[in-house]
């Protein structure tokens, strides 16, 4: 399992004082070189980093040129040689790509300055607003519904404004000297295609028929070239989505990539399958979110407004997400069933997986895919047999629990 992209937000930690000093000094030096005059930063505030980076808000205390009053600084450590790709490079290229758009079209923070050697980014501070996760875990169902629809609209706008950006993204990544910039989720999906069948047989005594393997192979064609590719932040989870007065803005581009838009749109149907924050949505809200997203993307891909074109692609994306998230989250032999993220208010892994396979079974039945529906049903029964009837009940997000 690729912990880096599946466990939601990293555990918040307090950087050592030396890290704060080094990061502020580095950011001052980068900004001073960019402006050609001394820039002084003050009042560093920890925003919670990870084992990969230190992130903080700083105040611009002194600058001969006009800069925003506050900035966000993200300072990365060295990229391990064993890493599949470099999160600093992904974020730097992604922010450069987004910043090239007119301000009113951006869905992420503006890149103010960066330095490849120092591995530091200086970004626009989008403020102290609530994340989508904050709204979903509050107690206002109307606010949560509005935020989810705004999130779907922002996702569609991102796909529309950044369609055709693959050559530019590739050029930026090459300029940053990276070895690989493939979608890390696609890498995991391809690996799970060969590994999950044995795991399901070992842990749940469910054999994967050849027909299912063939169906998965067909669905995996979504990972290759298509005319429906656009930039994706990849980790488009609620804690990485800031709700502002002008819409939702995406915050984290450590795994930014270019991929088929259906892989992101599936998040609208099976809520946030790579995130710790994966609870149930009220009836019909997922359909409203999908309609909102489609209203944006038809400007570039009008044929995706046709169910006969979109829905098969969306089903393939949903199948791949259910498959790879099972590979990520299914407790192995000897492991206990636990929350998706031990440090966040997550559902238990078994509960999330049962809900996904139940939805997939219903969707497969509606599409006349009898073998896949029967296979999904066997997995639901096997998961409940192993983890208990409690796995059948995935709660809604807290904002919707008292409706």
Rounded-to-integer distance, Cα 297 and Cα 67, Å: 34
User: Could you give the CA distance from residue 206 to residue 245 in angstroms, rounded to a whole number?
Assistant: 49
pLDDT for residue 49: 62
What does the pLDDT average to over 174-190?
86
Identify the pLDDT of residue 213.
Answer: 97
Contact 278, 346 (CB under 8 A): yes
Rounded Cα–Cα distance for residues 100 and 171 (Å): 14
Q: What is the pTM of this model?
A: 0.90
The residue with greater pLDDT, 4 or 166, is 166
* Secondary structure class of 259 (helix, strand, coil): strand
Neighbouring C-beta atoms of residue 298, cutoff 10 Å? 16
Give the lowest-confidence range in 1-10, 168-177, 339-348.
Answer: 1-10
Gap between the Cα atoms of 328 and 4, Å rounded: 11
**Main-chain dihedrals φ then ψ at residue 76, nearest 5 degrees:** -90, 145
**Mean of the pLDDT values across residues 248-266?**
93
Is-contact 199 327, C-beta < 8 A? yes
- Coil/strand/helix, residue 202: helix
Token pair in block for residue 179: 């070895």
Record: fold of 132-400: Aminoglycoside 3'-phosphotransferase; Chain: A, domain 2 (3.90.1200)
Dihedrals φ, ψ of 229, to 5°? -95, 145
- Looking at mean pLDDT, say which of 46-55, 187-196, 231-240 comes out highest: 187-196
Burial of 42 per CB tally in 10 Å (0-12, 13-18, 19+): exposed
- Report the pLDDT value the prediction gives residue 14, as an integer from 0 to 100: 36
pLDDT at 254 over 60: yes
pLDDT value at 132 more than 90: yes
Give, as one character, the DSSP assignment of residue 103.
G
Question: Cα dihedral sign for 259, 80, 189, 328?
Answer: negative
Q: Helix or strand or coil: residue 71? A: strand
Counting Cα atoms < 13 Å in the Cβ hemisphere of 108 gives: 31
pLDDT in tens, 211-241: 999 999 999 999 999 999 999 998 888 999 9
CA distances from 6 to 242, 245, 265, 275 (A): 19, 29, 17, 6
Q: What pLDDT is attached to residue 21?
A: 64
Query: Residue 50's pLDDT band (boundaries 50, 70, 90)?
Result: low
Residue in 300, 82, 324 with CA at minimum distance from that of residue 196 = 324
Which tens digit of pLDDT belongs to each residue from 348-392?
A: 999 999 999 999 999 999 999 999 999 999 999 999 999 998 888
Q: How confident is the model at residue 204 (pLDDT cuts 50, 70, 90)?
A: very high
Of all helices (H) and strands (E), which one includes residue 61? strand 53-62
Asked if residues 201 and 207 have their Cβ atoms less than 8 Å apart, the reply is yes
Burial class of residue 78 (count of CB atoms within 10 Å of its CB; 0-12, 13-18, 19+): exposed
pLDDT digits (tens, 9 = 90+) for 55-92: 999 999 988 788 889 999 999 988 877 777 888 999 99
Domains 3-124 and 132-400 share a fold: no
Residue % of the chain over a pLDDT of 90: 70
Split at pLDDT 50, 70, 90, the class of 8 is very low
State yes or no: pLDDT of 11 exceeds 80: no
Q: Of 70, 75, 39, which is closest to residue 57 (Cα–Cα)?
A: 70
The DSSP result for 315-378, as a single string, is HHHHHHHHHHHHHHHSPPTTPPP-BSSTTTTPPBHHHHHHHHHHHHHHHHHHTT-HHHHHHHHH
Q: Please tell me the predicted confidence (pLDDT) of residue 1.
A: 34
List the domain boundaries for the chain: 3-124, 132-400
Task: Please compute, for residue 267, the number of CA atoms within 13 A of its CA located in the half-sphere on the CB side.
Answer: 24
What is the pLDDT at residue 19? 58
In this structure, are residues 129 and 244 in contact, taking their beta carbons and an 8 Å threshold? yes
**pLDDT at position 10:** 29
End-to-end CA separation in angstroms for the chain: 36
Residue 348: strand pairing partners: 339
Q: Who wins on pLDDT, 81 or 120? A: 120
Largest CA distance in the chain: 68
Report the chain's C-alpha Rg in angstroms: 21
Helices (H), 162-209: 166-175, 184-204
Instruction: Summarize pLDDT for 279-306 with one digit per residue, the tens.
Output: 999 989 999 999 999 999 999 999 999 9
Which fold does the domain 3-124 belong to in CATH? Answer: Phosphorylase Kinase; domain 1 (3.30.200)
């Amino acid at each position: 399992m690729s912990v880096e992209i599946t466990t939601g937000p990293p555990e918040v930690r307090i950087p050592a004082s030396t890290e704060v000093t080094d990061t502020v000094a580095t950011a001052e030096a980068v900004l001073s070189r960019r402006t050609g005059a001394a820039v002084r930063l003050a009042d560093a505030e920890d925003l919670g980093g990870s084992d990969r980076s230190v992130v903080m808000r700083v105040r611009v205390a002194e600058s001969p040129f006009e800069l925003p009053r506050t900035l966000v600084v993200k300072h990365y450590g060295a990229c391990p040689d064993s890493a599949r790709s470099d999160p600093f490079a992904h974020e730097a290229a992604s922010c450069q790509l987004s910043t090239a758009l007119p301000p009113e079209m951006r869905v992420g923070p503006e890149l103010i300055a960066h330095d490849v050697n120092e591995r530091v980014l200086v970004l626009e501070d989008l403020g102290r607003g609530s994340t989508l996760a904050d709204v979903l875990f509050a107690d206002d169902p109307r606010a949560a519904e509005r935020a989810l629809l705004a999130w779907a609209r922002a996702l569609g706008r991102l796909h529309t404004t950044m369609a055709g950006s693959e050559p530019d993204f590739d050029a930026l990544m090459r300029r940053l000297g990276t070895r690989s910039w493939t979608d890390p989720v696609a890498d995991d999906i391809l690996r799970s295609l060969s590994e999950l069948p044995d795991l399901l047989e070992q842990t749940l005594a469910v054999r994967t028929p050849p027909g299912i393997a063939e169906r998965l192979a067909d669905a995996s064609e979504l990972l290759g070239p298509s005319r429906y590719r656009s930039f994706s932040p990849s980790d488009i989870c609620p804690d990485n989505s800031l709700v502002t007065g002008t819409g939702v803005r995406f915050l984290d581009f450590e795994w930014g990539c270019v991929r088929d838009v259906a892989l992101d749109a599936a998040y609208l149907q099976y809520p946030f399958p790579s995130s710790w924050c994966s609870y149930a949505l009220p009836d019909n809200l997922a359909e409203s979110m999908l309609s909102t997203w489609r209203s944006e993307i038809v400007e570039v891909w009008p044929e995706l407004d046709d169910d006969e074109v979109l829905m098969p692609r969306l089903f393939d994306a949903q199948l791949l997400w259910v498959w790879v998230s099972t590979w990520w989250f299914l407790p192995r032999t000897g492991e206990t069933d636990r929350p998706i993220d031990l440090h966040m208010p997550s559902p238990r892994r078994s509960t999330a997986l049962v809900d996904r396979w139940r939805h997939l079974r219903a969707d497969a039945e509606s599409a006349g895919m009898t073998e896949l529906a029967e296979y999904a049903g066997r997995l639901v029964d096997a998961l409940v047999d192993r983890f208990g009837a409690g796995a059948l009940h995935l709660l809604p997000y807290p904002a919707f629990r008292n409706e």
